[in-house]
Structure 1
Amino acid sequence: MRYFFNHCLTEHAHVFDMLRAADPSVHITAANSHKGSPVRLAADTFLDDPAAGEGHAMPAGYAEWLLEAAREARADIVIPYRHRMELADFRDCFEAAGIRLLTAADRQTMTVIEQKPAFLQWAEETGIPISPFREFSCLETFEAAVAAFDPMAPLCIKPSSGVGAVGFRRLVDDEAPGAAAVLLGLDAMVLGKGALRRLLSLGPLSRPMMLMLYLRGPERSTDFVCLDGEILGAVTRMRSGLYQKVGDDMVSFAMATTLARELGMSGLLNLQTRCLDDGSQVLLELNSRAAGGIGQTAPSGVNLPGLLHEALCGRRPEVPRRAGRTVRVARREMFLEI
């Protein structure tokens, strides 16, 4: 089997290693616009990926470039990271060339996933417990959102779309005693409510934000793999100090199973949860691509990329694979000459 990954994350080097652990004969072509990307060392073949378009939009002709590059690489499977939503519209073109373009779902479904408020509303209607939220884009809607929560409840904000923790802030009362120590401390992820109100008084935001409960418990990040709506395996990671606890989580697994089935999803995906004060888990978001930390799941004994490879070869597990034990995993950086 020959794979082609476009503009993948640095951490995708772990995905390549896990694919080879499942089948040493796989061939991996990776493309990236950064010639110094570490994936250059991990891939069998490395190509320069055309630069992103204006505002990170997919450049004209990019799908055609990717198809031709995949043909030249004799790829069987193309797994896109960059422009994956737009590329989902071209799956039939790749199929006509004998290549499977493996996106999480069709473009409409992926668009809903990336728009967190719409996705969370859908998830709640489907029966999946979610973290309570309200959208706001101006001072008036922010005040309405705040009024929807208990006055004593800890709150946070984050963008309605985006990746990682970009834009996330924990809100604090900047008029309360000791607020200065918090705002000027080591935690850069805090913002005073008064400061936010002053910013919003200057005019509406360019894009909506979400006001949510700030859930203090540890975040669970569940990496899972599925194909055509069938879940093949899942592993949950939970940060604990300098390491992560990696193993099985029944609630997160059930959520992943439901999401994969109801959305007809395929590929290496990720969901994130936290617990309410009563201990019940709620869904925060679903990512339509592999998480950067997927390599940390390998010590669990469940090879998620390997399960995907086996399924693409026509060999699906009789039951989804889940970690049979919990292990502690730490990250170790490596420095290599490029």
Structure 2
Amino acid sequence: MIWFLEGQSSQRDVIAGARAALPDGVQIFASHRQSRPEITGLADVAWREPQDNEERIAWVIQQACANGIQVVLAGRVGHVYEAHRADFEAAGLVLVTGALSLDTFERVDDKSIFTREALAAGMACIPAITVQTQAELESAYAQLSRDGRVCVKPTHGIYGQGFWRLAEDVDPFRCFANADSHEVDLSVFAQAYGRSQQPKPLLVMPYMPGSECSVDMVCEAGKAVAFVGRRKQGLMQSFERDGAAVELAIKAAEHFRCDGIVNVQTRDDAHGAPHLLEINLRYSGGVGYTRETGVNLPGIFATRRLKLPEPVSVWHPDIQVKAITVAVSVREEELLR
């Protein structure tokens, strides 16, 4: 038995991938803190998780033991579960969080620490200057802009939230009229940052103009056992299973001893050379798209952890996909649970 705890909305895709690979007799459990039957409805058993993190730990262990669950995959708050790994192991449960220690979460989640360590390990990574004041921001921009475009992002965060390209030749109102452009006038951004009552640390970096590769992978104690790279090309996404970006992602996962279904992001420079952006110690929002390549990453993860035969991968080259919205029917009583 395997249990997929609350994750990204792609939790539905992960459950579907596992169901396609596991024998019918193996039950799949899923849970979420919100009423999300459209996500958890594909599981054999679906639960509503407690809201409080500490209460949730005890509840998960109790439910897993009572229902014969062997493997528990954390999603959104892997670090919370990782802090209680000893409790899960004492109960005879296999806990998968994306890492094998809290130290890894601290080194990866703080992008400033991650960048320094990746560079020190000899991996190509976008160099960055950490700033916490307007003066530091303006100084870092002046230093980096001599060699090209400059961008910023928070030291902590997901989904690209807080990412902006800085420029001195852009309309000051552009960031308000078209926020999706992620381009902002330097003086507008710097002044706003300086007036913030509690400014959060930012990374100031050279802007890489090339394409981004998002590598979804199944890892076991740092070893990547299956992986697929995704690149956005307009409205479409294409896939790759080798090349410099995928190789760099595998090295990063090995160095930080990733463990579970994780995601590594890279971005190419003007010459097409990939540089590390970040590691997400959880499955990505687009992990479900990778099944179109003939590689079922969630299924590979689930079967290997349960010591069952894993699904055969047959790579389909030249595949492109486009995400679409699909309506999922749920009963009213399911929404009220």
TM-score by length of 2: 0.89
| Equivalent residues, number | 326
Of the candidates 134, 146, 149, which is equivalent to residue 139 of structure 1? Answer: 134
C-alpha distance in structure 1 between counterparts of 2:176 and 2:322, whole Å? 30
C-alpha distance in structure 2 between counterparts of 1:125 and 1:91, whole Å? 29
RMSD of aligned alpha carbons: 2.3
C-alpha distance in structure 2 between counterparts of 1:147 and 1:33, whole Å? 45
Asked whether the equivalents of residues 6 and 30 of structure 1 are also in contact (C-alpha less than 8 Å), the reply is yes
- Measured after TM superposition, the shift of residue 316 of structure 1 is 8.6
C-alpha distance in structure 1 between counterparts of 2:215 and 2:76, whole Å? 22
Partner of 1:51: 51
Counterpart secondary structure, 2:261: strand
Asked whether the equivalents of residues 247 and 327 of structure 1 are also in contact (C-alpha less than 8 Å), the reply is no
Asked whether the equivalents of residues 70 and 306 of structure 2 are also in contact (C-alpha less than 8 Å), the reply is no
Describe the shift of the 1:139–1:180 C-alpha distance in structure 2 as closer, same or farther (beyond 3 A). closer
Pairs within 5 Å for 1:31-42: 31-42=31-42
C-alpha distance in structure 1 between counterparts of 2:188 and 2:2, whole Å? 49
Q: Deviations over 1:297-331 (max 9, x none)?
A: 001111112222232244698xx979462310111
Counterpart secondary structure, 1:207: coil
Partner of 1:55: none
Pairs within 5 Å for 1:82-231: 82-105=76-99, 106-151=101-146, 153-173=148-168, 176=169, 179=171, 182-183=174-175, 185-188=177-180, 189-202=182-195, 205-231=198-224
Q: Deviations over 1:26-66 (max 9, x none)?
A: 322111121135213222111111125xxxxx3x3331122
Structure 2: tracts of 5 or more residues without a match: 331-337
Describe the shift of the 1:62–1:135 C-alpha distance in structure 2 as closer, same or farther (beyond 3 A). same
Counterpart secondary structure, 1:284: strand
* 1:334 corresponds to 2:326: yes
C-alpha distance in structure 1 between counterparts of 2:8 and 2:274, whole Å? 29
Asked whether the equivalents of residues 253 and 264 of structure 2 are also in contact (C-alpha less than 8 Å), the reply is no
State percent identity of aligned pairs: 25
Structure 1: tracts of 5 or more residues without a match: 53-57
Counterpart secondary structure, 2:41: helix
Describe the shift of the 1:190–1:324 C-alpha distance in structure 2 as closer, same or farther (beyond 3 A). same
Q: RCO (CA 8 Å, sep 6+): is it higher in 1 or 2?
A: 2
- Measured after TM superposition, the shift of residue 201 of structure 1 is 3.3
C-alpha distance in structure 2 between counterparts of 1:116 and 1:69, whole Å? 35
Counterpart secondary structure, 2:165: strand
Of the candidates 61, 66, 70, which is equivalent to residue 64 of structure 2? Answer: 70
TM-score by length of 1: 0.89
Asked whether the equivalents of residues 244 and 273 of structure 2 are also in contact (C-alpha less than 8 Å), the reply is no
Counterpart secondary structure, 2:83: helix
Partner of 1:288: 281
Of the candidates 235, 250, 254, which is equivalent to residue 257 of structure 1? Answer: 250
Q: Deviations over 1:136-159 (max 9, x none)?
A: 110121123113313362122111
C-alpha distance in structure 2 between counterparts of 1:248 and 1:132, whole Å? 26
- Measured after TM superposition, the shift of residue 112 of structure 1 is 1.0
